[in-house]
Structure 1
Amino acid sequence: MSTCPMHETPPTYPFGNRPSVLDAPIELRGLRERPAVRVTLPSGDPGWVVTRYEDIRVLLSDPRLHRDRSSEDLPRITKDNSMFQDPNVSLDPPEHPRMRRLVTKALSAARVEKMRPHVQALVDELLDAMEAAGPTADLAEALAFPLGIRTLCGLLGVPPEDQKDFRLWTDAYLSVNRYTAEEVGRYRGELFGYIQRLVAAKREQPGDDLISSLIAVRDEDESRLGEYELLYWVQGLLMGGYESTANHLSAAIVTLLAHPEELAKVRRDPSLVPAAVEELLRYQVLFSQLAAVRYTSADIEVGGTTIPAGSAVFLALESANRDEQVFKEPEALRVDRDDNKHLSFSAGPHFCAGSALARMELQTALGTLLRRYPDLRLTVPAQELTRNTGVLVEGFTEVPVTW
């Protein structure tokens, strides 16, 4: 068995040294030559990144990896933000599967499919407004973020008048180094206070929404879901449920417009939209696995490399999705790629419960855009766009287009 060479200076994770805004980080080049690589986290603490597709799939279900952050001796993600690391809530079995079952049922593929006409109506409404104000627009602000917020808040039961604050709260909640510790604490406090008031209101006047359903489960059987756990999961659903989908939609538009040959394929054959969405999810991984940090309860061997017990481990989906042992021409965008087994939604016990909703939103929005605007194009070269920095999801700051 071996470990990574100790004389090397560990790279900083998350990786972010991109040759251009469209390219994957340079640090991913040659990364899979070693199955596990030592890294330095934003906090300055050490960690390990697992690099290969098959290793990651196996470890996603390995009970020796846990997410319990109750010990103060474990490596920290950042100095100023614990993100999803709440020692009062378990993200491990048996508590985590219990909660997942509730959310997965609410976001089943069948229930999500029934939402498609509603999401289509939202997309049409947003594009009508964009078109009326045209002939140019920022698609991130005109479509991606309002669609994500309104879809998720509608599902959860958040009143429309309360949705305006979620962008700021989300940025702070997912901050790596954009906000100070004081700002993170203040905005997270505002968010948690809002959720407490919202849950109290839903308890008094329940509706046909996910939050009301979770409250009913908690109040019928307190052993299934504690009050604090209820508040935590509502917060997580609000924060994680729209940010990644909104940023993926923006990135999908940019990436497709920057690859005219692939764009032409989808325009000629709209039935390729679902496959194109899967390929765009594989190709543009916008987030590291910082929030999904796992810790080893025992030594784990990965391809001959030993990761010691008590280590912070990150299963690099951004590396797995470009594994040449799994994907043919992994560095190329292929909207007609068959059997696309990307890991952007993870796998195993932590497979994204909202994946069906995200897919449906992306398919609906992207298909409608291409159908309505055959001449849709960026108003500036794609290479001149910028990405958000200092936050967990490194989406594009704007997507300026004309049609």
Structure 2
Amino acid sequence: MPPAAPEGSTSAQPRLPPEASNGRLSFALIRPQPDSRENRVSPVIRSSLISERVEVVRWRRRSCTCSPTRSSRGCHQLRGPPVPGRTGAPRTQAARRSPHRPVPARRPVRSALHDWLTEVQLPMTTVPDLPDATEALEHFPFDDGRGIEVHERFRELRERAGLLRVRLDYGEPTWLVTRYADARLVLGDPRFSRAMSVGRDFPRQEEATELAGLITMDAPEHTRLRTLLVKALSKSRIDAQRPTVHATADALLSSAMDAGPGMDIVVDYAQQMSVLSICDLLGVPASDREAFESTSAALLPGSAIGAEDMMRRFGELRACTERLIAERRARPRDDLMSAMIQARDEEDRLTDAELIELVVSMLLARFEAIITQIPNCVYVLTRGDRALWNRLRANPAELPAAVEELLRNNASAGAGLFVRYAREDVNVGGTLVRAGEALTIAVESANHDPARFEDPDAIDFTRPPGGHLTFGYGAHYCVGAQLGRIDLQEGLRVLLTRAPELTVRDLTWRVRPHIRGPVAMRVTWQGDPE
């Protein structure tokens, strides 16, 4: 018999529920925790010994699929996983029990379970109480997205055991990952899939469900495309973009200063900078940039463009890209489009359809990064006593470190953009996530985890660089991360140098929690009111 439960236990022995005899059974070892109904952590069961920490065997009934002719045998016998050294092959006719041999008394099911547990070692797992269909789940995000402050609820979730099961505005329920170590596990481990979200009602903040492109792929397809793209997007090509990005930002600011005493930094600066920079990188001539500008305008937060008009603009963008591909195949130039066309991995190369999707993906990624992060950085640097802004004015050499810290602090892409599906049962932070269940990574929470970052809510330009998850992690780490850093560094450098007294006069935040940033931000060149 199993040993007595520890003092204070609410259940000294494993028990079967009365209805257990009528259905197929599965079981899981659990450890009740009074302060957490979502997660119960099991102990480690070691060879030849049931740990005295085992308190309850919780039985779950599943619908039985046995043939009616087997009902006299009491349905399925309880069996655990195969034990090393034993075979699971059916007995041959000769090996079956002789009718003349006495039949031993059937052992109780609990005793059979006990014997199995003493022969194998089970890993530490967490068995969540999955809510039934009628149980209300906590809604995520926890606010409407106004501002860039990290919600206090994340602190509570990081400190408690296990994961929280939540529901977003659209899609199926999902486990919310808030701790840094857990987020790195889910983002970097191949047991979690991005491709499994395609064609599913995945957790999301917007009604649209269509997913495509590099971000929705798993290996080996993802590895193939990423390898070819990295060959084209070389370090030397990225570094060569810095003077171009700086010149673009400088020209945009000059135009805005000539037009009046201030500008909307979202529309007049960040949006224009994103379009011009991606066109320069790809080698899109000025005569063909209208499709890129039209599409980016439709993507602006607060845009009133309808779904039909949006699809038309994306169609024009794809047609423009297709023409550009044909031109570069015939007459290659020193630009990224030509490099992507020529990129090879042995005999493999990108198809025209893949090139088009990569161009669209790069436009979207760079657009969102620039139009959210530049305004967010300006907001953080100039608020309060402007100490951070003045520090960078006096010490421009700190700008790369400052951008890295601001990226950690201002992760604009919230949890709704980082969804993964478990390919198999995996223990994540003390919760057993079942195969096929969704996980949503709260990057803004992981980037403020005190277990990884000392004094995480403080903005410290001397903090050791790297480690944040704003650009992702693992196989889906952003290919254009270094381009994003250059965009932010040069965009801020121009503002710090040419508009040292820049002041935020008015701003309107997006009501879009998974992309945090302003819809509009009115700034002036001087500290005095307009």
Give, in angstroms, the shift of residue 33 of structure 1. 2.7
2:184 equivalent in structure 1: 57
CA distance 1:170–1:216, shift in 2 (3 Å)? same
1:245 aligns with one of 366, 370, 386 = 370
The structural deviation recorded for 1:159 is 2.7
Paired position in structure 2 for 1:125 = 251
1:105–1:4: structure 2 CA closer, same or farther, 3 Å change rule? farther
SS in 1 for 2:519: coil
Structure 1 runs of 4+ off > 6 angstroms?
A: 171-180
Q: Residue 516 of structure 2: which of 388, 394, 399 is its match?
A: 394
Q: Distance in 2 between matches of 1:230 and 1:111?
A: 18
Q: CA deviation at 1:62?
A: 1.0
Aligned 1:306-321 pairs, distance under 5 A:
306-321=432-447
Deviation track 1:101-148 (CA, whole Å, cap 9, x = no partner) reads: 232333344332222222222122112112212321112223212112
Q: Greater CA deviation, 326-335 or 70-79?
A: 70-79
Query: Residues 178 and 446 of structure 2 are in contact (CA less than 8 Å); yes or no, is this contact kept in structure 1?
Result: yes
The 3 A distance-change label for structure 1 pair 387 and 166 is farther
For 1:302 and 1:378, locate their aligned partners in 2 and report how far apart those are by CA, in whole Å. 42
User: Structure 1 pair 109/71, CA: closer, same or farther in 2 (3 Å)?
Assistant: closer
Answer yes or no: is the 8 Å Cα contact 1:51–1:319 preserved in 2. yes
**SS of aligned partner of 1:379:** strand
1:393–1:248: structure 2 CA closer, same or farther, 3 Å change rule? same
Q: Give me the whole-angstrom Cα distance separating, in 2, the residues matched to 1:309 and 1:184.
A: 36
- Report how far residue 400 of structure 1 moved: 1.2
Amino acid at match of 1:251: N
Classify the secondary structure of the residue corresponding to 1:314.
Answer: strand
Q: Does 1:68 align with 2:195?
A: yes
Distance 1:176 1:204, change over 3 A: farther
User: How big is the shift at 1:321?
Assistant: 0.5
User: In structure 1, the residue corresponding to 2:139 is in which secondary structure?
Assistant: coil
| Match status 1:10 vs 2:132 | no
Q: Equivalent residue for 1:255?
A: 380
SS of match in other structure, 2:495: helix
> What per-residue deviation string (whole Å, max 9, x for no partner) do you get for residues 42-84 of structure 1?
3242122211111212222211111224874563546742354
TM-fit CA distance, 1:273:
1.0
Per-residue deviation at 1:185?
Answer: 4.3
| Number of the residue aligned with 1:42 | 169
The answer on whether the counterparts of 2:283 and 2:336 sit within 8 Å (CA) in structure 1 is: yes
| 2:470 maps to 1:344 | yes
d(CA) in 2 for partners of 1:217, 1:291 = 29
Please point out which of 262, 267, 290 is paired with 1:136.
262
Deviates more, 1:266-275 or 1:178-187: 178-187
Map of 2:238 onto structure 1? 112
Classify the secondary structure of the residue corresponding to 1:267: helix
- The whole-number CA distance in structure 1 between the counterparts of 2:510 and 2:155 is 22
Q: 2:484 aligns with which of 320, 341, 358?
A: 358
Query: Displacement, 1:248?
Result: 0.7
CA contact (8 A) 2:414 2:442 kept: yes
The equivalent of 1:28 in structure 2 is: 154
The equivalences for 1:168-187 within 5 A come to 169-170=295-296, 182=308, 185-187=311-313
Query: For residues 123-180 of structure 1, what are the alpha-carbon distances to aligned partners after superposition, in whole Å with 9 as ceiling and x for unaligned?
Result: 2211211221232111222321211211111111223344344465357679999876
Letter in 1 for 2:522: P
Q: Which moved more, 1:191-200 or 1:181-190?
A: 181-190
What is the letter of the counterpart of residue 236 of structure 1? S
Q: 1:177 to 1:288 in 2, by over 3 A?
A: farther
Match of 1:264 in 2: 390
Structure 2 distance, partners of 1:14, 1:401, is 29
- Match of 2:263, SS state, is strand
- Hey, what does 1:151 align to over in structure 2? 277
Using the alignment, how far apart are the partners of 1:355 and 1:89 within structure 2?
Answer: 14
TM-score by length of 1: 0.86
Pick 1 or 2: higher relative contact order, CA cutoff 8 A, min separation 6.
1
Partners of 1:123 and 1:188 lie apart in 2 by 26
Deviations 1:268-290 (A, max 9, x none): 32221111111111111111243
Cα displacement (A) at 1:262: 2.1
- Report which of the two has the higher share of helix: 1
| 2:178–2:442 CA contact under 8 A, matched in 1 | yes
Deviation at 1:210, TM superposition (A): 1.7
| 1:71–1:343 CA distance, 2 compared to 1 (3 A) | closer
Query: Retained in 2: the 8 A contact 1:174–1:392?
Result: no
* Map of 1:278 onto structure 2: 404
Q: Does residue 416 of structure 2 align to residue 294 of structure 1?
A: no
Give the structure-2-normalised TM-score: 0.67
Amino acid at match of 2:238: V
Further displaced range: 48-57 or 63-72: 63-72
Residues in 2 aligned to 1:245 and 1:166: alpha-carbon distance in whole angstroms: 15
Aligned to 2:355: 230
> What is the aligned-residue identity percentage?
36
148-157 or 223-232, which deviates more: 223-232
Give the match's secondary structure for 2:509: coil
Name the CA shift for 1:175/1:137 in 2 (closer, same or farther; >3 Å). closer
Question: Which structure has the larger Rg over C-alpha atoms?
Answer: 2
Q: Is the 8 A contact 1:288 1:318 kept in 2?
A: yes
What residue ranges of structure 1 are gaps of 5+ in the alignment? none
